[in-house]
């Protein structure tokens, strides 16, 4: 029996990988415009990193991590998300000491969660994420939101919605937490085991429960927005003002709590409203994490960021019917006839490539007609035909596949002629 790909993972084959490259390039370009720099962190980290940052009571840490002991009996975990590692690296590399603050970073790489696979939900997925660490200015919250909306706009998405909320600061959260306990406690027996243990440890997590979503106490739960202190309320109002100034439409949803523990103040998600996108409508999630850097052993430095998976971005693109301008074109296909000409194209092909011209030839000893078919399949801009006669005369036949024009050129001027023709297109 042949070995199959693990559940929840996928091969990204040629033909599809170009779409990935295209949207990843857009995201990188937008990040560069906003002055964010790339960071690459390891695929696995010490398990403790995620327990301490993402939070012990979250689904990610309790149920979804790929955790294993290495041969030295250290507990390691395949990263389920990127923020924890970026913050670890920020502290470890003392980036808080850099002259330019906030430190603005982006990343793009595989993440791993043991979730039930379904449309838009994988066990290995690629997150593109951004973190701005070192500023508690509502303008940077607005910048991060503008950045992600720009990426989606550049990718051609129209049917998307930005949803924001504030989770407040520590004081606001303590007040809200107390109200949540009072709200749920009398009927906590009607909730799942997880929620029962969350009640005292972290009642906010109850609002994020997938099993008890429909319980009537959920919709009537006290809203964090009623518990924001002056600082938190003013902060949130400023973020909204800036978004309005930037003409970025948004809605406020007081029930948006996010599935990770490190958030405070601004929390947000971008949803797809496209029909056929699937049951999971979240494209992107993020928010502010002011206590995380100090919790990870660094100074008390605030941060904000987001992440989205390329998988969900591409399904939104498909659901909206956006045509990505991906056209594969080959500069020149070398057709050869006869043994001597075939031998000659080995060198000629190499010279073309060294001259920066995308080139290909036949390796299956095929007849002229089949070689021309290959050139066609590869969308060759020029086809150059070399037979024994041409070779003896020191010439090669060049055909412009767009105009249909055909020209015999001297072999030793072939590459220069082709370059000129390519420049003229």
User: What would the two tokens of residue 18 be?
Assistant: 């170009």
- 251-280 residues in contact with ligand HAM (CB under 6 A) are 259-260
285 belongs to the binding site for ligand HAM (CB under 6 A)? yes
With binding defined as CB under 6 A, does residue 57 bind ligand HAM?
A: no
Q: Which three-class secondary structure state does DSSP give residue 334? A: strand
H-only helix segments in 169-298: 170-184, 193-201, 216-219, 230-245, 292-295
Whether the Cβ atoms of residue 402 and residue 425 lie closer than 8 Å to each other:
yes
Taking phi over 0 as left and psi of -120 to 50 as alpha, with beta for the rest, 265 belongs to left
Shortest distance, CB of residue 260 to ligand HAM, whole angstroms?
A: 6
Give me the least distance between CB of 420 and ligand HAM, in Å please. Answer: 47
| Rounded Cα gap, residues 157 and 214, in angstroms | 31
Which H or E element spans position 128? strand 124-133
Beta-carbon contacts of residue 370 (< 8 Å; ≥ 6 apart): 362, 364
Q: Please tell me whether residue 286 binds ligand HAM under the rule CB under 6 A.
A: yes
Name which position in 31, 78, 228, 283 contacts ligand HAM (CB under 6 A).
283
Interacting stretch for ligand HAM, rule CB under 6 A, among 81-89, 97-105, 334-342, 350-358? Answer: 81-89
Cα separation, 273 vs 316, in Å, equals 9
Nearest residue (CB) to ligand HAM, 96 versus 114: 114
Output the smallest distance, CB 256 to ligand HAM, in A.
Answer: 11
Task: Please give the Cα distance from 291 to 55 (Å, whole number).
Answer: 13
The 8-class DSSP code of residue 286 comes to E
Query: Which residue is associated with the tokens 């995380």?
Result: 292
Helix pair angle (339-354, 414-424), 10° resolution: 50
Q: Which of 23, 30, 45, 81 binds ligand HAM (CB under 6 A)?
A: 81
CB-neighbour burial class of residue 412 (10 A; exposed 0-12, middle 13-18, buried 19+): exposed
Size of the site for ligand HAM (CB under 6 A): 26
Q: Which is nearer to ligand HAM, 121 or 353 (CB)?
A: 121
Measured between alpha carbons, how far is 402 from 300 in angstroms, rounded to an integer? 62
Taking the least distance from each CB to ligand HAM, the nearer of 198 and 288 is 288
Q: Is 131 near ligand HAM (CB under 6 A)?
A: yes
Among 191, 227, 308, 414, binds ligand HAM (CB under 6 A): 308
Burial class (CB in 10 A: 0-12, 13-18, 19+), 318: middle
Kindly state the smallest distance separating residue 47's Cβ from ligand HAM, in Å.
17
| 36 contacts ligand HAM (rule: CB under 6 A) | no
What number of residues does the chain have? 425
Using CA atoms, how far apart are residues 212 and 199, in angstroms rounded to an integer? Answer: 13
Q: Which stretch binds ligand HAM (CB under 6 A): 25-33, 302-310, 334-342, 370-378?
A: 302-310
Q: Which is nearer to ligand HAM, 287 or 291 (CB)?
A: 287
User: 85-124: which residues touch ligand HAM (CB under 6 A)?
Assistant: 113, 115, 121-122
Instruction: Take residue 55 and report the two structure tokens written for it.
Output: 């939070």
49: enclosing H helix or E strand:
helix 47-53
Binding residues among 213-252 for ligand HAM as defined by CB under 6 A: none
Query: Nearest approach, Cβ of 110 to ligand HAM (angstroms)?
Result: 11
> Is the CB of 87 or the CB of 383 nearer to ligand HAM?
87
Q: Does 312 engage in binding with ligand HAM (CB under 6 A)?
A: yes
Nearer to ligand HAM, 113 or 381 (CB): 113
Q: Is 311 in the site for ligand HAM (CB under 6 A)?
A: yes
- Rg of the Cα trace of the chain? 28
Smallest gap from residue 302 Cβ to ligand HAM (A): 12
Among 90, 106, 107, 125, binds ligand HAM (CB under 6 A): 125
Which residues would be at the binding site for ligand HAM (CB under 6 A)? 81-83, 113, 115, 121-122, 125, 127, 129, 131, 259-260, 282-287, 305-309, 311-312
């Amino acid at each position: 029996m042949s070995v199959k790909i693990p559940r929840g993972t996928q091969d990204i084959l040629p033909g599809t990988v170009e779409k990935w490259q295209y949207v990843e390039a857009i995201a990188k370009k937008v990040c560069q415009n906003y002055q964010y720099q790339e960071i690459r962190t390891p695929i696995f980290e010490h398990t403790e990193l995620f327990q301490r940052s993402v939070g012990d009571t979250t689904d990610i840490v309790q149920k979804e991590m790929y955790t294993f002991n290495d041969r030295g009996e250290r507990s390691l975990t395949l990263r389920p998300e990127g923020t924890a590692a970026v913050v670890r690296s920020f502290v470890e590399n003392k980036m808080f000491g850099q002259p330019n603050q906030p430190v603005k970073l982006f990343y793009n790489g595989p993440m791993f969660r043991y979730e039930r696979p379904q449309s838009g939900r994988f066990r290995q997925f690629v997150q593109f994420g951004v973190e701005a660490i070192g500023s508690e200015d509502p303008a940077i919250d607005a910048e991060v939101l503008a950045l992600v909306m720009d990426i989606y706009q550049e990718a051609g998405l129209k049917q998307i919605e930005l949803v924001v909320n504030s989770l407040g600061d520590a004081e606001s959260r303590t007040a809200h937490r107390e109200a949540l306990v009072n709200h749920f406690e009398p009927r906590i027996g009607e909730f799942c085991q997880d929620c029962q243990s969350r009640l005292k440890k972290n009642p906010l997590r109850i609002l994020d429960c997938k099993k008890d979503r429909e319980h009537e106490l959920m919709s009537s739960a006290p809203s964090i927005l009623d518990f924001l202190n002056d600082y938190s309320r003013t902060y949130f109002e400023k973020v909204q003002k800036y978004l309005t100034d930037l003409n970025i439409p948004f809605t406020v949803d007081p029930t948006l709590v996010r599935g990770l523990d490190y958030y405070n103040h601004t929390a947000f998600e971008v949803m797809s409203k496209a029909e056929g996108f699937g049951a999971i409508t979240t494209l992107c999630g993020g928010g502010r994490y002011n206590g995380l850097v100090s919790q990870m052993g660094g100074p008390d430095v605030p941060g904000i960021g987001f992440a989205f998976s390329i998988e969900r971005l591409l399904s939104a693109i498909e659901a909206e019917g956006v045509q990505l301008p991906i056209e594969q074109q080959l500069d020149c296909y070398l057709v050869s006839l006869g043994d001597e000409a075939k031998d000659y194209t080995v060198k000629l092909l190499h010279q073309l490539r060294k001259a920066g011209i995308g080139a290909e030839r036949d390796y299956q000893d095929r007849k002229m007609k089949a070689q021309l078919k290959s050139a066609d399949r590869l969308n060759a801009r020029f086809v150059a035909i070399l037979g024994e006669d041409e070779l003896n005369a020191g010439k090669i036949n060049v055909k412009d596949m767009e105009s249909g024009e055909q020209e015999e050129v001297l072999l030793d001027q072939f590459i220069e002629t082709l370059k000129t023709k390519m420049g003229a297109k």
